[in-house]
Amino acid sequence: MKKILIILFVCLTATFEMTAQQYKVITSVESIVPNGMGRSRIINAMEDKDYKEYTSVQTEEDNTRNKSKRADIRVKNFEETKLLNFFNLGGIRFQNIAANDALISSMINDMIANGWELAFVTSAVESEGGKGDGQGIFITRYIFRK
């Protein structure tokens, strides 16, 4: 009887843990545009969206489309933390990278202090890559779990 109660307690606890998780994504966008012409920010959405409201099902038999407008998807309530650009007129600016690291570390520490765990980090670079290479961003998504 004692073993059954322990097993039931463990199963109930495991079920609660799986259903009690939530995730939050915060994105940093750092400009790699030469001459300091770009914009760099940390973006944190302050409202939730249900992806199902903007999802359509398309099959050969039934081509139903969601009638929501693109404007409905936009989040109007968000935090925007300024970051410094990687480049200025003199070229790459290592002080700017260090300053951005300090701000991003502060944001991560604040999220952890508020009960979030940094679960995943993913990043990418988008650059024109053509002659002159005049455009580009470095984007990082920080995925937190609670």
Of all residues in the chain, what percent carry a pLDDT higher than 90?
Answer: 44
String of DSSP letters for 40-70: EEEEEE-S---GGGG--EE-SS-EE-----H
String of DSSP letters for 103-140: HHHHHHHHHHHTT-EEEEEEEEEEE--STT---EEEEE
| pLDDT for residue 76 | 85
| pLDDT for residue 102 | 98
**Structure-token pair, residue 85:** 């650009």
What is the Cα–Cα distance from 108 to 112, expressed in whole angstroms?
6
What is the Cα–Cα distance from 21 to 56, expressed in whole angstroms?
26
45 with 27: CB under 8 angstroms?
no
120 with 143: CB under 8 angstroms?
yes
pLDDT bracket for residue 63 (50, 70, 90): low
Direct distance between the N- and C-terminal alpha carbons of the chain, in angstroms, rounded to an integer: 34
pLDDT higher than threshold 80 for residue 5: no
User: How do residues 90-145 score in pLDDT, each as one tens digit?
Assistant: 778 899 999 999 999 999 999 999 999 999 999 998 877 667 666 788 899 999 99
Angle at 83 between CA 22 and CA 30, to 5 degrees: 80
